[in-house]
Structure 1
C-alpha cells in the first residue's frame, strides 16, 4: 500500500557500544588517557592509576582514582549515561577550577570498553549518596538487542568508598606522603574510581613504561619564561604497580630531565595573521638569531590561529651527547641517552594546556620530518631528534577540530596551514644548525648527493627499510606458521639486498670522476635495486590481502609497513629522476641552438606554476647562438626559474611578481663568454645565508631538498667550464643569478 509523509526513526543496536569503545579508541594507552582527561575535567588535582595482578588477558584489573568533584545520582542518569551528551558544548569550563574542558563529544567515557570486559564505577559528590555502576561490555555485543534493551546495573548507597576512613582516603594518603598538592588537605568526601576488570591485554614492563611515557606528555614541561604560557592547573598522575618486575615503574608521572637540556632550541609566537617572533638558541642562553617575519607567506588558506612554539633539538652523534651523559638523566651510557631522547621525541600539540592525542607520541610524525630528512639528510631534522611543544586554544583556534575517534585533528585547511606555519618556523632553526655544523672549509662536491653525513648515525631513507616490527608481530601471533615465517624472511632478504646495492652505489660517489658518470651509474644500478624492492613490495601487498581475512591487526601492521616502504622507495625514485638530466649516458650531441628558444622551452615546463602565482616572465637581451646540449640549458633555467617562482609566491599577492631572463655575449679578457642571468622581484637572498646557498643540500625553503643550485652549478662548471654566482645588485629588486658559459660559445 502506498504511503506518504510517514516518519521513521533511527534506533541503534547495542553493538554500537563496541564501536564507540573497543574500535573507536585505537589502543589501551589512548583509552587510559581518555579516563585521565575525564578526571581533569572534573577538577581533580590527583589521579591514581593502580595495576592489580595478575595482569594477564582476561584477568586482573586497573583502577583509575581521582579526587575530582564526582557525580550525583542525577548527573549519572542525566549526563553520564547519555551518549554524545551536549553537556560539554554548553559548559566549556570545568565546574570549580575554571579549566578549559578537554571532552566535547560525550563518548570518551566509553574508552573503558577498550581496556577491560567489565567496568565498575563508584562516584560521589559532596553531600550526595555514593553511586555505583557495573557495566559488562560483552552484553552489548551478544544477540541483536537494541541499545535501550541492555540494562546497566547501578545503585546508590551511603558513602563508604569516598568517606572518612574509606578506601579513597587510604589510597590517596599513601600517594601524597611527601607530595604537597591540593588533594593532601582536601575533603575525601568526593571523587570517582573506575575499576576495569578482566583486562583485554596483558600489561608487562614495556607496556607500562610506554603508558608512563605517554602520560608524561599530557601536560607540557615548564615552558621558557619568555613564552608566557598560562600556568598549568595543579594536576598530578601517580602510577601504582605491584611488587615484582613492574615495581620500579611506580611513581609520579613527570617529564624527562633530558628535555631540560637541548642542544638547540626554538622559542616564540606566531599571531593569527602569521607574524612571528622567534628566537633560535644553540648551547647558550643568548639567541643566535631572532626572527621577525610573516610565516604565512600570503597563504590563501584560512588562518589556523595564533600559536606558541617551543622546540627542543639534539644531535645524536657521540660528541653531541657526551655532555648529557654527565647530567643526572638516569642513563648509564650513550645508548641510553639516545633512547631517552627518542622516547621523548615527537611534536606535541597542547590545547588549553593539555595534550591532544596522538600528537607527541614518538612514532607520530604528523609534520613529515622523516620524509623531509629523506629528501635532505644533511640539513633536515628527523622526528626522533625533536621534542616539540605547540600551544593553541579552543577559543582562538576554532578551525582546529578533533576527529570523532578522539585522535588527531580533522583534515581541514586550517590544519594544513598549521603544519605549514610550523615547518616555516622549524626551518629557521635548521638553517642555524646547518651553519654551526658546517665545516669552515666546506667543499661543494657532487659526492654529497644522496649521502647522509657520517655523523648522522645511519639515519635517513635506509633506516626505514626494516621488517623487524612485522617479524615480531607475526612471531607473537603465529609462532608455528612456517609459510608466513619463510615469506617474511624472503622479503627481508630481498629488501636488504636491494638496500645493500643502493648503498654500494652511493659509496662510490667520491670515487667517480665526473658528474655524468656518477649519475649514469646511479640511474642504472640504483633503479635496478629499486625495481627489486618494488617487486618485493608487491609480494608484501599480496601477503597483506591473504592475512586480512584471518587477522585484521596483523593485516593492519603489514599495511602500515607496506605504506612506509613504498614512500621510501618513491623518495629515492624522485631523487634519481631529479638528477636524470645530468646523466652522461642520456646526453645528446651538442648542437647549435638559440638561447632564447631553449630558455622559452624550459620556462614553458613551469607554465602552470607561473600562471598560478601570477608571475610575469620576460626573456630579453641578445639572442645568442651557442653550441650546447638542450637538456643542459633546460636544467639550468628550470632550477633558477623554479626557485624564483617559489620565492615570488611568498610575497603579497598585490605586489608585482616578475622574472627577467637576460642573455648576452661578453668579453672575459680576450675570450668570448656567454652570460645567462635570471633575476626576480622577490624577497632576495638574506645576507646571513649568501655563503651557504650553493652548498649541496642547503635550502632556505621549509621543504627544500637543496639540490637545485648545486645541480645548476655543476652543469655550468662540468660541461661549459663556467661559473654560477649571485649578482648584487641585480636587474630587479630580488635575487639575481648569473651563469657564465666559457666553452662552446663560439
Structure 2
C-alpha cells in the first residue's frame, strides 16, 4: 500500500558505542584527560590516577578516583545514561558555581571505552545511596543488537566506598601521607567517583606515563604573572600512583616544570576584543625592554575572536644560554637534558576558563605555524620547540571559539583564524626585540644546529663534527672520571658553537644564491607551460567557432571557459614579471629609459594588490632619463611599493590610502644624482626598529621573510653606487624611502 508523509526513526546499533569511543577519543592520554576533566566539572579538589599491574594489553587496570560531589541514582539514570545529554548546555557552571565546566557535548564518558575492555563506575552523592555501574564494552560489539537492547549492570547499595573510613578514605590517605606538604591536608571522602578500567586496551610503560605526566602538567597553567589579573585557579591537584618497580619513580603530584619559571625572554599582556593590546616584553630583567600599546587586529575583515591574555616564555637553545638553568632543581644533568626539558614543555597552550583545551600545548602541535615561519626566516623567527606559551580565554567572552566534536582542537572558524593572527602579531613584537638583543656583541648567539645521531639532526657535511663516539668510549672505560666527562662536554659545546656560526654564514649566502636559481627554474618551466597554455587556448578558440554552428550552448560554455583561462594566463604572466627581477640569470644590457615609464610598468605588476586594498598610487616629480637595466628599477619599485601596500592594508577601514612615487635630479657636491622616493600615509616605521629594517632576514611583518629591502638596497648599491635609506620626515605622513643613484644617471 502506498503511503505519504509516513514517519521513520533512526535506531542505532549497539556497536555505535564502541565506534564512538575509538573515533571520538584519539588516544589513551586524551581519554584519561577526559576523565580528569569530568572530575574537575564535579568540583573535585583531588584526582588520583592509579595504575595496577600487569600493565600489558588485555591485563591490568587503571583507577581514576576523585572527591567531587558524585552522582545520585537519579542522576546516573537520567543524565549519565543519556548519550549527548544537554545537561551541560543547560548548566554551564559546576554545582558550586566556581568553575566553568569543560564538558559540553555529553560524550566524555566514552573515554572509558578507549582505555579498557570493561569499566566499573562507583559514585556517591552526599546523603544518597552508592551507585555502581558495570559495563563490558564487548557486549556492544557482539551480534547485531540495537543500543537499547544491551543491558548495563546497575546496582544501588548502602555506601561502603565513599563513607568515613571506607575505601576512598584509605586510598586518599595513603597518597597524602607520602608528602608532608601535600596540596590538600584533608579530603572529604563521603562523596566522589571512582572509575575502574580493566583489561587494558594498550600497554603502559615509561614512555606512555611520562607523556601522560607532561600532558597533565599543562592541564592547569603555572601561576600567571600578577599583571595579567587572571582569576585564581580552583584548588585542583592530580596525583599519579604507579606500581612498585621500574615505574615507581613516576609516582607523585603533577606539577609544572621548574624550567618554565626561568625563560630568557617573556611576553606578557592582554588584548581586548577590538584588538587593542597592552603588552610588556622582558629579557631576563624585572623591567620590560619594551611596552607595546598598539592595535593587533588592524583592518581585519574577520570577526573578533574576543579578548585574550598572553604569557609567552622563550629560551635560546645554545649552550651559553642554557648553562645557568643547570643550577635549578630540574633533575637535568647537562645542557642536553635542559634542552630536552624545554622541548618537553614547549608549545602554545590554550586555556579556557582556567583549563587547557586539548591538544593545544602539546610539543608537536604547532597550531600557530612557528616552524614554517622559521623556515622562511631562521634568523628572526622562533621555533615551536623553544616557546612555552599560555593563552587565556573564556567561554563567555569568546563564544566563536568552539570545540571540535572529537574534543581536540577548535573548529576552523573565522574567529579561530583571527585568534591565530592576533597572537602572531604579538609574537612578532617579541621576535623583533629578541633579534635586537641577540645582534648586540654581548648577546647570546642562535641555537646550535649540530646534534648527535640520537637526536636525528646531524647530517651532510656537519655530521662528522660529532664527539658521541668519544663520549661513549670514555663512559665505558672511565665511567668515574668526572674531569674527562666534563672536558668532553665542554669540547662538544665549543664545536657546537663553531659549527652553528659556520652554518649560519653558509645558509645566508646559499639562500640568496638558491633564490636566484630557483626563480630561474620557475621562470623557465613556468613560461614554457604558459606558452603551451596559450597554444591550447588558441585551439580552443577555433573549436568554439566550429561548434557554434551545431551547438550554440556548448559554444557559449567553451567561450566562457576560454575567457576564464585567458584571464588566468595573464595573471600568471604578471606574476612571472613580478619575480623576474630576482632571477639569477645574467642581467640585461643597461639602456636609456624614462624613469616614469619604468616605474609605471613596475606598479602595474602590483595592480591586483593595489586595487584590492584601495590604494591610490601617484607618480610625480621630474621624468628623469637614466641609463639603467629595466629589471633593476622594477626590483626597486616593486619591493618598496609592495611593502607600502602591506602596511597601508593594516590601516583602519575608511582611511585614505596613498602612495606617492617621486623622481628628481639632484646634486651631491659636483656630482649629479637621481633620487627615487616612495612615500605612503601608513603607520610608518616604528622608532625601535629603524636601525634593523635593512638587515637581511629582518622583517616586522608577522610572516615576512626580510629580503625585500635588502635586495632593493643591494641593487642600488652594487650597480648604481647608490644607497637606499629611510627619509624622515617624508612627503606623506607614513614611511618614506629614498633610493639615490650616483652612476649611469647622465
TM-score for the superposition, normalised by structure 2: 0.83
Shift of 1:583: 3.6
Offset, 1:159: 1.1
SS at match of 2:446: helix
Please name the residue that 2:354 is paired with.
353
Give distance in 2, aligned partners of 1:51 and 1:465. Answer: 33
Match of 2:402, SS state, is: coil
Question: Hey, what's the Cα distance between the residues in 1 that align with 2:620 and 2:180?
Answer: 76
Deviations 1:511-553 (A, max 9, x none): 89xx99776567689999xxxxxxxxxxxxxxxxxxxxxxxxx
Cα distance change of structure 1 residues 205 and 508 upon mapping to structure 2, 3 Å threshold? closer
Shift of 1:602: 1.6
TM-score, normalised relative to structure 1: 0.83
Task: State the distance in 1 between where 2:441 and 2:320 align.
Answer: 18
2:295 aligns to what? 294
Q: Distance in 2 between matches of 1:631 and 1:14?
A: 70
Partner of 1:166: 166
Whether 1:730 aligns to 2:736 is no
Answer whether contact 2:675 2:739 (CA < 8 A) is retained: yes
Residue deviations 1:22-52 (CA, integer Å, cap 9, x gap): 1111111111000000000001100000001
Of residues 1-10 and 330-339 in structure 1, the stretch that sits farther from structure 2 once superposed is 1-10
Deviation at 1:98, TM superposition (A): 2.3
Mapped partners of 2:18, 2:615: distance in 1: 55
Contact 1:517 1:583 in 2 (8 A): no
Contact 1:519–1:579 under 8 Å retained in 2: no
Answer yes or no: is the 8 Å Cα contact 2:520–2:584 preserved in 1.
no
Match of 1:220 in 2: 221
Q: How does 1:296-335 map to 2 (within 5 A)?
A: 296-335=297-336
Equivalence for 2:103: 103
Query: Matched residues in 2 for 1:634 and 1:464: separation?
Result: 45
Deviation at 1:509, TM superposition (A): 6.9
For 1:519 and 1:53, locate their aligned partners in 2 and report how far apart those are by CA, in whole Å.
58
Do the aligned partners of residues 673 and 162 (structure 1) sit closer, same or farther apart at CA in structure 2, a change above 3 Å counting?
same
Is 2:620–2:660's contact at 8 Å kept on the other side of the alignment? Answer: yes
The answer as to 2:399 corresponding to 1:401 is no
Q: Match of 2:599?
A: 599
Compared with structure 1, are the counterparts of its residues 80 and 169 closer, same or farther at alpha carbon in structure 2 (3 Å cutoff)? same
Query: Aligned-pair distance for 1:621?
Result: 1.4
Give the direction of change, closer, same or farther, for the CA distance of 1:80–1:270 in structure 2 (3 Å limit).
same
1:156 aligns with 2:164: no
CA contact (8 A) 1:321 1:334 kept: yes
Counterpart in 2 of 1:458? 449
CA distance in 2, matches of 1:685, 1:434: 17
RMSD: 2.9
Matches within 5 A, 1:238-317: 238-317=239-318
Query: Do the aligned partners of residues 238 and 516 (structure 1) sit closer, same or farther apart at CA in structure 2, a change above 3 Å counting?
Result: closer
Moved more, 16-25 or 267-276: 16-25
Q: Is the 8 A contact 1:346 1:388 kept in 2?
A: yes
| Number of the residue aligned with 2:690 | 690
Q: Which residue of 2 aligns with 1:487?
A: none
Deviation at 1:659, TM superposition (A): 0.4
Query: Which residue in 2 is equivalent to 1:203?
Result: 204
CA-to-aligned-CA distance 1:82-126 (integer Å, 9 cap, x gap): 011000011111112521111000001111111111111111111
Q: In the TM superposition, what whole-angstrom CA distance separates every residue of 1:589-639 from its partner, at most 9, and x where no partner exists?
A: 323322222222221222222122111111111222222222222211111
Determine the C-alpha separation between the residues in 1 that align with 2:447 and 2:578: 23
Give me the whole-angstrom Cα distance separating, in 2, the residues matched to 1:577 and 1:595.
18
Gaps of 5+ in 2: 460-500, 525-575
Q: In the alignment, what sits opposite 1:430?
A: 431
* Preserved contact between residue 281 and residue 288 of structure 1 (Cα < 8 Å): yes
1:140–1:592 distance in 2 versus 1, CA, 3 Å: farther
Aligned with 1:171: secondary structure?
A: helix
Residues 10-159 of structure 1: matches in 2 within 5 Å? 10-96=10-96, 98-159=98-159
| TM-aligned CA distance change 1:511 to 1:599, over 3 Å | closer
- In structure 1, distance between residues paired with 2:52 and 2:577: 57
1:258-288 per-residue CA deviation (whole Å, 9 max, x = no partner) reads 0111111111111111111111111111111
Stretch of structure 1 that moved more, 373-382 or 7-16: 7-16
Residue 532 of structure 2: aligned partner: none
Q: Displacement, 1:699?
A: 1.1
Are the aligned partners of 1:265 and 1:313 in contact in 2 as well (CA < 8 Å)? Answer: yes
- Residues 419/13 of structure 1: CA separation in 2 closer, same or farther (3 Å cut): same
Distance in 1 between residues matched to 2:744 and 2:519, nearest whole Å: 27
Secondary structure of the residue aligned to 1:387 is strand
Cross-structure match for 1:491? none
Residues 391-424 of structure 1: per-residue CA shift (max 9 Å, x gap): 1111111111111110111111111111111111
Match of 1:456, SS state, is coil
Instruction: Give 1:141 shift.
Output: 2.2
Distance in 1 (alpha carbons) for counterparts of 2:290 and 2:93: 39
8 Å Cα contact 1:29-1:211 kept in structure 2: yes
Q: For residues 511 and 356 of structure 1, do their structure 2 counterparts lie closer, same or farther at Cα, with a shift above 3 Å needed?
A: closer
Query: 1:423-466, CA deviations, whole angstroms, 9 ceiling, x for partnerless residues?
Result: 11111111111111013599xxxxxxxxxx97322299xx9997
Could you tell me how far apart the structure 2 residues matched to 1:660 and 1:100 are? 54
> What secondary structure is seen at the aligned counterpart in 2 of 1:292?
strand
User: What is the alpha-carbon distance in structure 2 between the residues aligned to residue 657 and residue 465 of structure 1?
Assistant: 50
Q: 1:24 to 1:466 in 2, by over 3 A?
A: farther
The separation in 2 between residues aligned to 1:523 and 1:610, in whole angstroms, is 24
Greater Cα offset, 679-688 or 138-147: 138-147
Partner of 1:624: 624
CA separation of 1:375 and 1:74: change in aligned 2, threshold 3 A: same
Q: Do the aligned residues in 2 keep the contact of 1:266 with 1:281 (CA within 8 Å)?
A: yes
Q: How many residues align?
A: 652
CA distance in 1, matches of 2:698, 2:509: 23
* CA distance 1:508–1:93, change in 2 (3 Å): closer
Q: Is the 8 A contact 2:520 2:585 kept in 1?
A: no
Q: Between Structure 1 and Structure 2, whose CA radius of gyration is higher? A: 2
Q: Distance in 2 between matches of 1:510 and 1:322?
A: 28
